[in-house]
Structure 1
């Protein structure tokens, strides 16, 4: 059985949580931050769980995570 390649772009975007779920960053925290409230920016800084419909695709991209 040959080795499987990891998609490097996915490896930089997704991390495995302690319970085995995939975690991702939230969108809209890159620019135009002046008019966003501090509370909103704080919430956007937190990690989110990848939706269960997308988790299978992520696990195929990261075979050794």
Structure 2
């Protein structure tokens, strides 16, 4: 008897699925120690990141989220 895969809770908290099926995450490095960073770098970290790569990479994250 086949069982359902459990959702990885840590991945669920960090990654959101967009309407088009892309995987979106918040970029790291904005919490503290920002004084030495350039404004351009901090502005770039403000934007959400999109997980890109081979289909096998995306499949790994989607399986962890419970999406087939």
Q: TM-score range by the shorter chain?
A: 0.7 to 0.9
- The alpha-carbon deviation at position 3 of structure 1 amounts to 3.0
Could you say which structure has the larger radius of gyration? Answer: 2
Cα separation, partners in 2 of 1:52 and 1:14, compared to 1, 3 Å? same
State TM-score, norm by structure 2: 0.76
Q: Deviations over 1:17-65 (max 9, x none)?
A: 1211111222322321011122321210111110223211101101148
| Moved beyond 4 Å, runs of 4+ | none
Q: How large is the RMSD of aligned CA atoms in angstroms? A: 1.9
State TM-score, norm by structure 1: 0.79
Partner of 1:59: 62
Unaligned runs of 5+ in 2: none
The number of equivalent residue pairs is 65
